[in-house]
Structures are given as structure tokens and as C-alpha cells.
């Protein structure tokens, strides 16, 4: 009897579910990666409890989202890379349709049109965070590596269309991250450094174009970065207060739930985008480095999985997911410490919020799937 | 996959990929290294700076206002106190529609509709959680009324506070003055550290001049506040570390006045319905025993805060109740200066005790038709200095004025303290004017007006013309007469009491010297003449003095408000009430052992001896223990 594809996917390859590691392996889970992620999430909940004013309701809420995201990760981990690859163009196309629907029929919130309401409200741009690197990797899978200029042009369009649609919502932060996830794929695919540097040079006039494209509040954020004290109660307030929070934390911090900047409400967005400042205030440099080490471990494991992958699609996708995760961590921490302008990028797996967590862990599900579905025989 | 596509070289592709991943890993390390470097900069090198900023962010110092010192009269009776009162407060952030709420409060008469714009502005300016006081003191009825309606006014409530209270109402309105809410000029004037947290300050009278003693020193509390400045509950504060120690407020000193409540009452009631002032002084030490200005007002209105309408009424009242006539009102002293001029004339030889003039009702300067009239149209006949004082003959003084001269008049009157501020411990005193040639040169710009004319000397001899004196100055001058020349600086405050130890610091009498008229014989005669004003057979105020159980001395005065045309009949009834002469009276008693000196001015009272003198006598009766209540 021929098994349906779905049955094949979910049937255990190996029925010896006697040991724990056997169970883990049978569920296509990568132990080290899962361990690293769970440590980050646990640490995150701990910090969030303090940052959200010790509200148990919020923690339960976040834990539930985390549970949903972990389930999503487990499900994705069961999908073999070949299956994902075959469905990639459809997923990408569906994502584009949804983005267009958002722009025409989406719900407005906080001055932007980002949500689609189909029974549940969700942001199609979140799905695009995975669909774009998948599509780029799919395109390169069958083609010559390093990519030829003509292919690069096609990839540029594949990346630019969703980026443009998301920037139009407007959601510049997500748009740039999605563009980054696609660009990472082509860099990993071996795009020549001549072109990379050439594009970097072109990025200067490109930045000016982007500047013209930016809305006033976005321009203000950039200007504020360079001189936060110019408007200490307005646009510069977030950066000033977050620097005070982090700086006053010192080496060892003020102690859990004792951060005065966070608890006395000086620090805005303390349980969402600026939660890193709460961590810095309450746990000091030590706590911050512990979290960064955990992130590095997860990213390192991701890159290891990418290197171990057996086909182009898996390799590029795994590399992109890992490095995009790094970009998230960097943009958020650099923003909170006042190194880059304030863009709405949460601290991955720590900031309060649901959709981004599902996307992130689904991405790690792909990594696990890639690792556990390796064809153990050499070609 | 198309057959035309080149065969993929999996090994080289993998090598390329690994190379790129290694590069990416290095790049990742560099990026996170930048973040870590930044963190080290913030958390290690700049840690102290940010720690300080974070501390400054959260700790707010709140001032604890001191309790204001009490004011007592000379017998220890309370004149100004602090009473707990309920005040109506509105917390802006708890009120949805401030204007609507204020309108509804006005509708149930808890606030004045005129004040709505002011309260709206106040509610919108400050921090939204800080209460705005709508009414400083609620009556029992208002509290009861509001208590029923409270559910209709979320964000509005009454709160207990200490409010300055003057139990005797208008009785001490001018002498003790009042406290009022701090305004911008007060804020600039006062030490912001001491006044942090204080809402009211002394505005007039003793409340103002002894503000420094009465106020006390503010204490401080350290509060933990959140970003919006709201205080955080204590249990949270404990978690956030220890705070600097608080400092308790030290209460203001109590002030004992030399004023006597009973005397104040007598003077206040005597001036009922009139405009005028009474000042009584103890000649032996300068203590002011009574100081009343009429009409008065209720100082509690200022302490509690009044509506715009109420304030406008006080401000625009033609009788000027806010004006302290006792120290700020200056009037022509009229004949009340005659005893002093008599001493001056004797001392300078301008007259002697035997010289007589024949008073025919007027006086003319040589070569001039102008008649300087005596108040008694038919004249006093032959009068000597004694008679000129006791019967208040103007012509006698007109006649000697030329020999005495304006500069001598100025010299002697100045010795009695006229023409310059007495230095009393109440602010706002006016110095009055004692004219002289030099004064005229300095105070007129026009050359013609700078010259001193003979006629001006003539009218100066009966205290008219340019001469002006305050009731306080006249009281001090008559006190100086009673002591035969010893002057003391008048003062209202007798002692300052430390509220904690109860120790009193007495205010020492300040001797200002002697007027330096050495001949006791002159004193005997002039004082005797003043005695006869009251109790002599032809004294101008004998109606008041005769039959009194003690000996007294006095001198009446009448000050012209409008100059009367030559030969015009002086018809009192036809004159507008406000154009009538001011009535003045100065006196002291007992004659042989002066204990009290009194000056009385009744604006437009017409007659010093019949209107002002009885008021002076009533005050002296009370002080010397001969008032009706005491004898009955």
C-alpha cells in the first residue's frame, strides 16, 4: 500500500522510542538547538516577568504563545526539506497575494495596515520572513552556484517585490529584515565580492532614495540617534532612558525586579522592543553576556546544521535562517544601546509578542528538519 | 531540471558555502562584539554617570511645610491661629470634563462662576495628579451638601488642611494683617528652600513684617516617584534601596503683640460706620496698645481665598477698607501740633509765657489783604500761650509764626518724629511731610513754586498747607509730649516665643533720644495747657474731659479737606459729607504718670473735640480701668 505523503511525513522512521534520545530523534528534534532555544525562552520569561510589572497574566499569555510556537516548530520539523522545497513557490505566491490583500483590505493598527483578519488576525509579513529566503534558496537550488548576474537580477525582483509591499504598509523594520534574509541567501550562495562591494557602494545613493521614501517619524528616529539630547522628552526619550537603564545596571545589575528605570516607568516599551534594557539594568553586563552567549550558541548550531546539510536549498535556507536571527539580535541590541536608529524590531524570543515568536520557532523547525532528514548515505 | 544547465559540482559548491559561512560567523562575532563593546562602555566606564542619572530620575524631594506661628495679644489671647478646615480639591486626571464639572459645582454654589476660567487654566497647567484647590474652607453646610452629591463629581473631594484663622475678624485686619496664597512676586522675593511646600505667606501687617519668624523652616521628605512624578507606595520604595534621611519641619515662632484685644474692640466699635484710625501707644516704651483703621475687612477672606467678585468689591469700595489708615493715611495734623510749636516758640524766643495777642477772628500779613481766619469767627479776644493751646486760638499762632519761621517749625516738629517714618514694625508706613524752605526747593520743579512764601508759614503754624502726618506719627508725637521729650520707637510686637522650648524673647524698648527742650518750665506750661484742653474751664474738649475719674491732657485738631473761599460762609450741611473737615484728636493720660497716648482721626468727622475726642477717651478709660463694663 502506498502511503500518502502526509502519512510518510508523520510516521516515525524508527520505532525504537525507548530512550529519551530516541524519542527526540524520532520527533526530528535537534537536541542542542532545542536546548539553546528553551534556555533563551526561559531566561526571556524571567526578564519579562519583571519588565511587565510582575504581571502573572502577561507571563501566562506569553507562555501560551511560546507553547503554540513550540508546537509549530515541532510540526515544521516533521516536514522533510524536499517537501518544503516543492511547496516553496506556492507559499511565496500565497504570501504575495496576502500582502496585496493587506494593502487593500487589511486592518489598520498603530497607523499602519499590517493585519489581515480571517477569523484570526495575523500579519502576512511574518510568513514572508520565511517565504522569501525559501524562495531565494529554491531558485538557486537547481541553478549554478555562484549565481550568474542574470539570475541575480531575477532574485533581486523576488526579494524586492515583498520588501516593497511590506515597506508600503508601512513597516520599514520588517521590510529591511526580509530583504536582509534574501540577500543573506545570495551572499551564502557565493555571490562574488566584487558585486557585494559594488552594491555596497550603490547603497549610498540607495540610502538617499530610502530616505525620501521614509515617513517623518522614521526620519525622526534616524536623526534622534545622532543627537538624542536634542529632544530629550520627545523622540530622544527612549534612547536616553534605555541608556540610563543599561548604564546604571553596571556589572552585576540592580537585581531581578529591582530595576528602577523599568519599574518606575521611565523606560518606555520595556516589555516589548526595549526589554534588553531591562535585562541590562537588572542583571548587568553579566546577564547581558549570558544572553548573548546563548544567542551565539543557537546561531552557531544553526550554521553547523547549514554546513552539514546535503543539498543547496537546505544549506542556503539553514544559513539564512541562522544569520537572519543574528541580524534580529544585532538590530535590537544595537538599537537599545543607541548604536542604530530605533526600528521596531523585538528582541527575538524575549520580547513580549506572539506572531514573531511563531515565525522564529517555525524557522528553527526548518533547521531541525534539515538536520534530522539528512540522507545519511553519501551521494 | 533542464539538461542544458551545467552539472552542479557539489564538492566545490560545499567548499564555497563553508567559506562563506566561516566569513558570516566572523562577521557575526564582529557585530556582537560591537554590541558588547558598547555595553562595556555603558555599564563599566560610564556606569557611575548613568547610576547617578537613574537615581536622579526616581528620587524626588518633597518639602514638608512648617506650621505657622500663632499671634497673641498682650494678655495672651489668640489673634491668629491655624485651624483644620476642609478644602475642596479637584484632581485633573480623574475628571473627564473639567469645564463641565466646574460648571456643575458652580450650579450648586460651591464655587463662583467667575472663577471657572481660572480653575480650568490651573487644572490644565500643573501635573495632572496634583490636586487643584477650588475652595480653601468649606462650611459645615457645604460639606453636608457636597457629601450627598459626591458621586456626581468623580475626581472632586474635600481634604483636611490647616488654614490660617483670625478669630476676631476685622478687628486686627490692618495691624496683624493677613496671609494670602503665594503669588509670583512672593515666590521671587522669598527663599525658595524655606518656602518649598508653603502655600501662603504674610501679605500685610505683622503677618508680613514678622513673616521671617512666623513662617518656620520647611522639612524635607524623600519620595520615590515614577516617570510621571507620581509617588510610589512605600513597599516598592523599600525594594529600591535606602534614601537620604528626611528632615522634619521646624514650626514658626509665636508672636506676642503689645496690642490689647479689649482696646482694639473699643476703638473698632467707636469707629463703626466711619472712616478713620485710632493708634494708642504706651509712652514709656513705645508699645502700640491699639491700632485700628476703619472701615476694616475680614482677613479670613484672604487666608481662605475669595472669589474674584468678593475681591473686586473690596478693591473698588470707595471707603477703601484695605487701606491701613493708621500708618499709611497721612492727614494735615491741624491744631494737634500746636503744643509742639508752642515749645518751639518758647525755646527759640519767638514768644514767651506772658505775651498776649488779641484775637479778632482773623489775621492779616502786612501789606496783604488776605485774611487768615480763626476757626472761631468772632475771635477769642486776648489770649496768652496757655489760652491759645487750651482754646485752640489760631490767630495767636499766626502772629508768632513769622518770628518762629518755617525752618524752626521744621526743626522742632522733626524732633518729635513728624516728617519721617517712625520705624514701626509694620511695613508700608508713609513718612508724611514737615515742610521747610529746603523741602520746597527739592520737591517742586517750577522756580516760582520753589520759593517759600510767608503765607505758607502762617498756615503751617496751625498744621495746614503742605504738612501731613499719619495717625501713628501723631500718637508717637503726643507720647513724646507726655514724657517731656523722651521718644521710643513704636512697635506692635512685644515678644517672640520659641514654640518648642516655650522661651520668650522680649522686644526691648528702643529709646530714640530726647527732643532736647531743656526748660522744664516750658514743659510745665504747655502740658498744663493741654490738660486744660480737657479739664480746664474753657478747654476746647472739656465736654469730654470734665468729670473723668483721672487727669488727662489732649489737643484737638481739624484738618481742612477743601479750602474755603474768602468770606464764604462755612455751611456744613451744604458740604458733601466727603468734603467735611477731618476730625483729629491727640491725648494722653494719666496726666501725672502717662500710661497711654492716643491719636484719633475721623475722616470728614468735622470736629476734633466732639467727634474724635470721645473715641480717645473711651480707649483711655478702658486701658486705665475706668470703662463702663469695669465699673458696673
What is the per-residue pLDDT across B511-521, written as a single tens digit (0 to 9) for each? 998 888 878 89
Is residue B34 classed exposed, middle or buried when 0-12, 13-18 and 19+ CB atoms within 10 A define those classes? middle
Q: Could you tell me if B289 and B436 lie in one domain? A: yes
Residue B205 lies in a domain: no
Q: How many domains does chain B have?
A: 2
Q: How many CB pairs under 8 A join A and B?
A: 150
Same-domain status, B376 and B483: yes
Do both A253 and A368 map to the same domain?
Answer: yes
Name the H helices within B5-129: 10-40, 47-58, 98-107, 116-125
Do B17 and A263 make contact, defined as CB atoms within 8 angstroms?
A: no
The C-alpha of B235 sits at a distance from chain A's nearest C-alpha, in angstroms, of 12
Q: Would residue A225 count as lying in a domain? A: no
Q: Where are the alpha helices (DSSP H) in B217-307?
A: 234-239, 261-270, 300-304
Cα–Cα distance for residue pair A30/A21, rounded to 1 Å: 10
Same domain as A266, residue A168:
no
Residue A366 grid cell: 526548518
Residue B191: how many other CB atoms lie within 10 Å: 11
Distance CA B435, CA B412 (A): 12
Cis check for the bond before A75: say yes or no (omega within 30 of 0).
Answer: no
Residue of A nearest to B30 (CA): A330
Position B422 in a domain: yes
Task: Verify whether the Cβ–Cβ distance A244 to B31 is below 8 Å.
Answer: no
3-state SS, A302-358, equals HHHHHHHCCCHHHHHHHHHHHHHHHHHHHHHHHHHCCCCCCCCCCCCCCCCCCHHHH
Higher-pLDDT residue of A171, B372: B372
A88 and A210 assigned to the same domain: yes
Selected for mutation to probe chain B from A281, A286, A337 (highest B CB count within 10 Å) is A337
Tell me if B235 is assigned to some domain.
no
CB contact under 8 A, B35 and A261: no
**Cα distance from B62 to chain A (closest Cα, Å)?**
17
| A72/A90 same-domain check | no
What is the Cα–Cα distance from B508 to B285, expressed in whole angstroms? 8
Do B273 and B149 share a structural domain?
A: no
Q: Is residue A11 part of a domain?
A: no
pLDDT tens for A310-334 read 889 999 999 999 999 999 999 999 9
Domain boundary, last residue among B121, B139, B165: B165
Q: Is residue A365 part of a domain?
A: yes
- What pLDDT, in 10s, does the model give residues A242-287? 898 999 999 998 888 888 787 777 788 888 889 999 999 999 999 9
Hey, which residues 115-144 in chain A have their CB within 8 Å of chain B?
142-144
- Cβ neighbour number for residue B485 with a 10 Å cutoff: 17
Domain range for residue B591?
261-565+574-631
For residue A306, give how far its alpha carbon lies from the nearest alpha carbon of chain B (Å). Answer: 8
Q: Is residue B131 part of a domain?
A: yes
Contacts of A190 in chain B (CB under 8 A): 13, 16-17, 20
> Among all residues of chain A, which has the CA nearest to that of B1?
A142
Q: Which region among A166-175, A231-240, A319-328, B129-138 has the lowest average model confidence (pLDDT)?
A: A231-240
| Beta-carbon separation of B42 and A247 below 8 A | yes
- Tens digits of per-residue pLDDT, B379-403? 888 999 999 999 889 999 999 998 9
A323 and B24: CB-CB below 8 Å?
yes
Collapse the DSSP code of A170 into the 3-class scheme (helix H, G, I; strand E, B; otherwise coil) and give the result.
Answer: coil
CATH label of the domain that carries residue B491? 3.40.710.10
Distance from CA of A15 to the nearest CA of B (A): 33
Residue of A nearest to B32 (CA): A330
CB contact under 8 A, B32 and A296: yes
Q: Is the pLDDT of residue B365 over 80?
A: yes
Residues A284 and A363 in one domain: yes
Instruction: Flag whether A64 is in a domain.
Output: yes
Residues B145 and B279 in one domain: no
pLDDT band at B566 (very low <50, low <70, confident <90, very high): very low
SS3 assignment, position B448: helix
Cell, residue A28:
526530528
Domain contains A145: yes
pLDDT, position A231:
57
Which of A84-98, A215-229, B39-53, B65-79 is least confident?
Answer: A215-229
* Model pLDDT for residues B228-251, shown as the tens digit of each residue: 666 666 555 444 455 667 778 889
- The percentage of residues in chain B with a pLDDT greater than 90, rounded to a whole number, is 44
Cβ–Cβ < 8 Å for B589, B596: yes
Catalytic residue among B335, B476, B482, B587: B335
Query: Cα separation of B335 and B347, whole Å?
Result: 19
pLDDT at B135: 82
Look up residue A229 and give its three cell numbers: 539630547
* Count of the separate structural domains present in chain A: 2
Q: Distance between CA B499 and CA A76 in Å, rounded?
A: 81
Is residue A246 less than 8 Å (CB to CB) from chain B? Answer: yes
Do A40 and A101 fall into the same domain?
Answer: no
Question: Is B222 a domain residue?
Answer: no
A16 inside domain: no
Q: Is A58 in the same domain as A142?
A: no
Please answer yes or no on whether A258 and B239 come within 8 Å at the CB atom: yes
The answer to whether residues B158 and B289 belong to one domain is: no
Q: Is the peptide bond before A170 cis (omega within 30 degrees of 0)?
A: yes
Same domain, A167 and A193: yes
Using the beta-carbon criterion (under 8 Å), do A292 and B32 form an inter-chain contact? yes
| Range with the poorest average pLDDT among A202-216, B41-55, B463-477 | A202-216
**CATH number assigned to the domain comprising residue B129:** 3.30.1390
Look up B125 and say whether it is catalytic: no
Chain center to CA of A131: 12
* Residue at a domain's end among B97, B130, B165: B165
* Residues A143 and A163 both lie in one domain: yes
B72: which 3 cell numbers? 497673641
pTM (2 d.p.)? 0.64
Domain end call among B165, B187, B217: B165
Contact status, residue B252 vs residue B195, Cβ threshold 8 Å? no
Instruction: Give the three-state DSSP class for A361.
Output: helix
- Cross-chain CB nearest to A145 (options B16, B49, B58): B16
Question: Is residue A2 one of the residues assigned to a domain?
Answer: no
Is B274 within 8 Å of B614 (Cβ atoms)? no
A199 and A250 share one domain: no
Q: Is A247 near chain B, with CB under 8 Å?
A: yes
Give me the residue label for grid cell 514678622.
B210
Question: Domain for residue B242, yes or no?
Answer: no
DSSP string, A87-146: HHHHHHHHHHHHHHHHHHHPEEETTEEEEEEESEEE-HHHHHHHHHHHHHHHHHHTS-SS
Domain that holds residue A202: 82-214
Please indicate, yes or no, if residue A14 is contained in any of the structural domains: no
CB B193 within 8 A of CB B49: no
The DSSP bridge partners found for residue B223 are B60
Say if residue A81's pLDDT is above 50.
yes
Q: Do A368 and A309 lie in a common domain? A: yes
Amino acid at each position: 500500500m502506498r502511503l500518502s505523503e502526509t502519512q510518510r511525513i508523520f510516521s516515525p522512521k524508527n520505532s525504537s522510542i525507548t530512550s529519551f534520545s530516541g524519542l527526540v530523534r524520532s520527533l526530528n528534534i535537534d537536541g542542542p538547538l532545542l536546548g539553546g532555544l528553551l534556555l533563551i525562552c526561559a531566561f526571556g520569561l524571567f526578564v519579562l516577568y519583571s519588565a511587565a510589572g510582575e504581571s502573572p497574566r502577561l507571563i501566562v499569555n506569553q507562555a501560551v504563545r511560546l507553547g503554540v510556537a513550540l508546537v509549530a516548530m515541532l510540526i515544521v520539523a516533521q516536514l522533510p526539506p524536499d517537501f518544503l522545497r516543492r511547496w516553496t513557490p506556492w507559499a511565496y505566491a500565497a504570501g504575495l497575494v496576502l500582502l496585496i490583500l493587506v494593502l487593500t483590505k487589511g486592518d489598520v493598527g498603530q497607523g499602519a495596515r499590517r493585519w489581515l483578519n480571517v477569523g484570526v488576525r495575523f500579519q502576512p509579513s511574518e510568513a514572508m520572513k520565511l517565504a522569501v529566503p525559501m524562495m531565494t534558496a529554491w531558485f538557486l537550488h537547481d541553478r549554478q552556484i555562484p549565481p550568474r548576474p542574470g539570475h541575480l537580477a531575477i532574485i533581486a525582483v523576488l526579494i524586492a517585490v515583498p520588501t516593497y509591499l511590506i515597506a508600503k504598509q508601512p513597516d520599514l523594520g520588517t521590510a529591511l529584515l526580509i530583504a536582509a534574509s534574501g540577500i543573506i541567501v545570495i551572499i551564502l550562495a557565493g555571490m562574488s565580492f566584487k558585486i557585494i562591494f559594488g552594491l555596497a557602494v550603490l547603497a549610498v545613493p540607495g540610502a538617499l532614495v530610502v530616505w525620501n521614501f521614509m515617513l517623518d517619524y522614521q526620519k525622526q528616529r534616524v536623526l534622534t540617534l545622532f543627537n538624542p539630547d536634542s529632544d530629550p522628552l520627545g523622540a530622544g526619550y527612549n534612547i536616553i532612558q534605555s541608556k540610563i537603564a543599561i548604564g546604571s545596571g553596571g556589572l552585576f545589575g540592580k537585581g531581578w525586579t529591582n530595576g528602577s528605570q523599568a519599574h518606575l516607568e521611565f523606560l518606555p516599551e520595556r516589555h516589548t522592543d526595549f526589554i534588553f534594557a531591562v535585562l541590562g539594568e537588572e542583571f548587568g553586563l553579566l546577564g547581558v553576556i549570558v544572553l548573548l552567549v546563548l544567542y551565539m550558541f543557537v546561531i552557531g548550531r544553526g550554521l553547523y546544521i547549514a554546513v552539514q546539510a546535503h543539498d543547496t536549498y537546505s544549506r542556503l535556507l539553514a544559513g539564512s535562517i541562522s544569520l537572519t536571527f543574528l541580524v534580529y539580535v544585532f538590530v535590537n541590541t544595537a538599537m537599545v544601546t543607541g548604536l542604530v536608529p530605533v526600528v521596531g524590531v523585538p528582541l527575538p524570543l524575549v520580547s513580549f509578542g506572539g506572531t514573531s515568536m511563531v515565525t522564529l520557532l517555525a524557522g528553527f523547525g526548518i533547521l531541525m528538519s534539515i538536520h534530522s532528514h539528512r540522507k545519511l548515505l553519501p551521494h | 531540471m533542464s539538461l542544458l544547465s551545467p552539472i552542479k559540482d557539489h564538492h566545490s559548491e560545499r567548499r564555497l558555502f563553508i567559506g562563506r559561512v566561516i566569513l558570516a560567523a566572523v562577521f557575526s562575532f564582529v557585530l556582537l562584539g560591537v554590541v558588547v563593546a558598547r555595553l562595556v562602555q555603558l555599564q563599566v566606564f560610564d556606569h557611575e554617570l548613568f547610576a547617578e542619572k537613574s537615581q536622579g530620575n526616581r528620587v524626588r524631594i518633597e518639602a514638608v511645610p512648617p506650621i505657622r506661628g500663632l499671634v497673641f495679644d498682650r494678655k495672651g489671647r489668640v489673634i491668629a491661629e491655624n485651624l483644620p478646615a476642609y478644602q475642596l480639591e479637584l484632581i485633573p486626571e480623574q475628571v473627564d470634563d473639567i469645564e463641565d464639572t466646574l460648571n456643575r459645582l458652580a450650579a450648586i454654589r460651591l464655587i463662583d462662576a467667575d472663577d471657572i476660567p481660572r480653575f480650568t487654566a490651573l487644572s490644565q497647567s500643573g501635573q495632572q495628579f496634583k490636586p487643584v484647590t477650588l475652595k480653601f474652607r468649606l462650611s459645615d453646610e457645604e460639606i453636608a451638601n457636597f457629601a450627598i452629591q459626591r458621586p456626581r463629581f468623580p475626581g472632586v473631594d474635600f481634604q483636611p488642611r490647616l488654614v490660617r484663622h483670625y478669630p476676631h475678624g476685622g478687628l486686627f485686619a490692618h495691624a496683624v494683617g493677613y496671609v494670602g496664597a503665594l503669588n509670583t512676586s512672593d515666590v521671587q522675593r522669598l527663599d525658595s528652600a524655606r518656602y518649598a511646600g508653603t502655600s501662603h505667606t504674610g501679605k500685610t501687617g505683622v503677618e508680613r513684617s514678622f513673616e521671617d519668624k512666623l513662617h518656620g523652616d520647611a522639612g524635607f521628605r524623600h519620595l520615590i516617584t515614577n516617570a510621571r512624578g507620581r509617588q510610589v507606595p512605600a513597599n516598592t520604595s523599600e525594594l529600591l534601596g535606602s534614601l537620604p534621611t528626611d528632615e522634619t519641619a521646624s514650626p514658626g515662632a509665636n508672636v506676642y503683640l503689645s496690642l490689647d484685644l479689649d482696646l482694639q474692640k473699643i476703638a473698632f466699635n467707636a469707629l463703626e460706620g466711619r472712616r478713620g484710625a485710632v493708634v494708642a501707644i504706651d509712652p514709656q516704651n513705645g508699645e502700640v496698645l491699639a491700632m485700628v483703621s476703619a472701615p476694616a475687612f475680614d482677613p479670613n477672606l484672604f487666608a481662605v481665598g475669595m472669589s474674584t467678585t468678593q475681591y473686586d468689591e473690596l478693591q473698588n469700595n470707595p471707603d477703601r477698607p484695605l487701606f491701613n489708615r493708621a500708618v499709611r493715611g497721612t492727614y494735615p495734623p491741624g491744631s494737634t501740633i500746636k503744643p509742639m510749636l508752642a515749645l518751639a516758640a518758647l525755646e527759640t524766643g519767638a514768644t514767651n509765657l506772658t505775651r498776649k495777642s488779641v484775637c479778632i477772628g482773623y489775621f492779616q500779613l502786612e501789606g496783604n489783604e488776605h485774611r487768615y481766619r480763626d476757626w472761631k469767627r468772632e475771635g477769642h479776644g486776648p489770649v496768652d500761650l496757655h489760652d491759645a493751646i487750651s482754646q485752640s486760638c489760631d490767630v495767636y499762632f499766626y502772629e508768632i509764626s513769622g518770628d518762629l519761621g518755617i525752618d524752626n517749625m521744621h526743626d522742632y516738629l522733626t524732633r518729635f518724629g513728624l516728617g519721617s517714618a517712625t520705624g514701626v514694625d509694620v511695613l508700608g508706613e508713609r513718612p508724611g511731610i514737615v515742610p521747610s524752605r529746603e523741602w520746597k526747593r527739592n520737591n517742586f520743579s517750577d522756580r516760582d513754586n520753589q520759593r517759600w512764601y510767608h503765607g505758607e508759614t502762617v498756615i503751617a503754624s496751625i498744621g495746614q498747607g503742605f504738612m501731613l502726618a499719619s495717625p501713628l506719627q501723631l500718637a508717637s508725637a503726643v507720647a513724646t509730649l507726655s514724657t517731656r521729650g523722651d521718644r521710643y520707637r513704636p512697635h506692635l510686637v512685644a515678644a517672640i516665643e520659641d514654640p518648642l522650648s516655650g522661651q520668650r524673647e522680649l522686644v526691648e524698648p528702643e529709646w530714640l533720644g530726647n527732643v532736647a527742650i531743656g526748660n522744664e518750665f516750658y514743659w510745665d506750661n504747655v502740658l498744663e495747657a493741654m490738660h486744660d484742653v480737657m479739664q480746664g474751664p474753657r478747654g476746647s474738649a472739656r465736654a469730654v474731659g470734665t468729670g473723668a475719674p483721672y487727669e488727662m491732657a489732649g489737643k484737638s485738631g481739624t484738618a481742612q479737606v477743601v479750602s474755603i473761599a474768602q468770606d464764604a460762609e462755612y455751611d456744613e450741611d451744604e458740604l458733601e459729607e466727603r468734603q467735611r473737615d477731618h476730625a483729629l484728636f491727640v491725648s494722653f493720660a494719666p496726666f501725672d504718670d502717662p500710661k497711654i497716648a492716643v491719636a484719633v482721626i475721623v475722616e470728614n468727622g468735622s470736629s476734633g473735640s466732639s467727634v474724635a475726642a470721645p473715641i480717645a477717651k473711651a480707649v483711655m478709660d478702658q486701658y486705665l480701668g475706668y470703662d463702663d463694663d469695669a465699673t458696673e
